[in-house]
Structures are given as structure tokens and as C-alpha cells.
């Protein structure tokens, strides 16, 4: 079974890219973030035609929004209002074998890494703290669970093009990285990417639209993550990002991250 996470940056605008991904990779489950559409306008019929018969989604106009597109049945769909916010930033479902799949869209956090002057940054930190406290309440250490999504945090030195230059830039500040590491440690979550790609190797999933030639400048960040509980670590067969998708017509600034499980 293949599971992907992808900040699609408007599901209606890029539903053709979802079809192209399915044709190329044959992904069984795609977790989307930033769908940017109200539920009544979600392109449900179009996505079912692509092959995703089981779909769970929640959205809002122009902002946020998450969805799980699946070729296999989903049950017990849940939606948490993380940090008491009404933003549509979480959705989860149970897979046929009992594995719980969570899809999160952590806030970007604005520009200034200062909680006293930037409420967006303050909310981002609060959001991660909430996840750290909430997930252990609903899961045990021996549960089968997966969390995926656009975390908007690049936690390690080689998850960004220059750790030194980005140390005070939102997404790679010490405060964000420490909180994300605390979240990871809360249930012993396994960061699948770094199980397959050495820590000293650069690894990105996002390249800004501001770069005229994203490939030449290669100033990326690893913002998109897939974590599994220790119970599932041995089931993960492979991991990859798909940077060539950044070159597709009218692409998202994020590319899919894909794992395969036994």
C-alpha cells in the first residue's frame, strides 16, 4: 500500500495533477492539505472518477482544508479542532487493518518569529503543543498510527538549504524545531524520511514560487512529513519525495512525499 502526503495548494485548480500522480505512481491513499474549497464545492465526483472511491474532507473558502483520498475503505472519520481553532487543519480515518491515519496542516506562522508581535507564530507553537498533548491521549505506544501532512517546520540541519541563514526564519527556528522534536518524542514517532535518507543528505519537499529557477537555486525546505508509530516501523518498505512534479504545469510549491508499507 502506498500513502502520499501533498500540499496541493487548491484541489480544484490541480485535480488534474492528482490524476497524473495516480497514473505515474499508483498511490492508494493521498492526504491533501490546503484544498482551499468549501465542502459543497469539493470536486468529489471528479476525484472518484480518478479512482479514489473513498474520500473524507473538510474545508473552507480560500484557506486551509484537508482531505483523504483513498482506494480502500475508510471508517470512523474524525475532525479535531486543534488548539480550539475552527480552522480546517485536521482529519483522520481508520484503515481496514485498524491503523489510524491522521492528516494535519500545521499553520505557516507568518514572518516574524516572535510571539509578542506575531499572533500567527504564537498560534503555530500552540498548535504543535496541542498535538503533543492530544495524540498521546488517543493513542498508546503500541498502537498502529500514522501522522502525515504539511508541518511547515524543517526540523534538521539538512532539511533546509542553509541552516545557518535560516535559523531565525519561521519554519526553522530553534523554538519550532524543539517543539516538533517534543511532539515526535511524545509517542516515539518515527520520522520515516530520515530512516531512508541519511541525516547528512539534503532533503526537501518545498521550493518557493519566488525563485525564478527553483531547480537551479535549489533553496528548498523539508516541510512535508510522514511519521509512523514504532509498531509500524518495520512495515515501511520505501520512502521518496517526487521533486520532478515541481516542474509540472501550474504546480504546487510542494511536491508529494510517498511511502510504501507492507
Q: How does pLDDT run across 227-262, given as a tens digit for each residue?
A: 999 999 999 999 999 999 999 999 999 999 999 999
Written as one string, the DSSP assignment of 124-145 is: HHHHHHHHHHHHHHH--TT--E
The structural domains of the chain, with segments of one domain joined by +, span 2-261
Across the range 82-92, mean pLDDT stands at: 97
Q: What integer pLDDT is reported at residue 212 of this predicted model?
A: 85
Distance CA 185, CA 109 (A): 22
What percent of the chain has pLDDT above 90? Answer: 99
Q: How does pLDDT run across 137-181, given as a tens digit for each residue?
A: 999 989 999 999 999 999 999 999 999 999 999 999 999 999 999
Across the range 105-125, mean pLDDT stands at: 98
Distances (CA, A) of 201 to 34, 140, 163, 184, 207: 28, 32, 13, 20, 17
**Verdict on whether the full-model pTM lies above 0.85:** yes
Instruction: For residue 203, give the DSSP letter.
Output: -
CA angle 180/242/176 to nearest 5° reads 15
Of the candidates 39, 51, 32, the one whose C-alpha atom is nearest the C-alpha of residue 103 is 32
31, 148 in Cβ contact below 8 A? yes
β-sheet with 100-105: strand ranges across: 75-78, 90-94, 100-105, 145-150, 224-228, 190-191
CATH topology of domain 2-261: Deoxyribonuclease I; Chain A (3.60.10)
215, 183 in Cβ contact below 8 A? no
Amino acid at each position: 500500500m502506498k500513502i502520499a502526503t501533498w500540499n496541493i495548494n487548491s484541489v480544484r485548480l490541480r485535480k488534474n495533477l492528482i490524476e497524473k500522480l495516480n497514473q505515474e505512481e499508483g498511490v492508494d491513499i493521498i492526504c491533501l492539505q490546503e484544498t482551499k474549497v468549501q465542502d459543497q464545492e469539493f470536486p468529489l465526483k471528479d476525484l472518484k472518477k480518478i479512482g479514489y472511491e473513498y474520500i473524507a474532507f473538510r474545508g473552507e473558502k480560500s484557506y486551509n482544508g484537508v482531505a483523504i483520498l483513498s482506494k480502500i475503505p475508510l471508517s470512523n472519520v474524525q475532525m479535531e479542532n486543534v488548539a480550539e481553532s475552527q480552522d480546517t487543519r485536521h482529519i483522520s480515518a481508520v484503515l481496514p487493518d485498524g491503523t489510524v491515519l491522521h492528516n494535519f496542516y500545521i499553520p505557516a506562522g507568518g514572518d516574524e518569529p516572535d510571539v509578542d508581535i506575531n499572533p500567527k507564530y504564537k498560534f503555530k507553537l500552540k498548535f504543535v503543543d496541542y498535538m503533543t498533548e492530544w495524540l498521546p491521549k488517543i493513542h498508546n505506544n503500541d498502537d498502529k498510527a500514522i501522522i502525515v501532512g504539511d508541518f511547515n517546520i524543517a526540523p534538521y540541519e539538512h532539511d533546509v538549504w542553509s541552516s545557518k541563514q535560516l535559523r531565525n526564519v519561521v519554519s526553522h527556528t530553534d523554538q519550532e524545531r524543539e517543539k516538533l522534536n517534543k511532539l515526535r518524542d511524545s509517542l516515539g514517532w518515527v520520522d520515516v524520511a530520515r530512516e531512508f535518507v541519511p541525516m547528512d543528505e539534503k532533503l526537501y519537499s518545498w521550493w518557493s514560487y519566488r525563485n525564478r529557477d527553483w531547480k537551479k537555486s535549489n533553496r528548498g525546505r523539508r516541510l512535508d512529513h510522514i511519521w509512523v508509530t514504532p509498531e509500524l516501523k518495520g512495515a515501511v518498505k520505501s520512502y521518496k519525495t517526487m521533486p520532478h512534479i515541481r516542474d509540472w504545469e501550474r504546480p504546487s510549491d510542494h511536491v508529494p512525499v510517498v511511502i510504501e508499507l507492507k
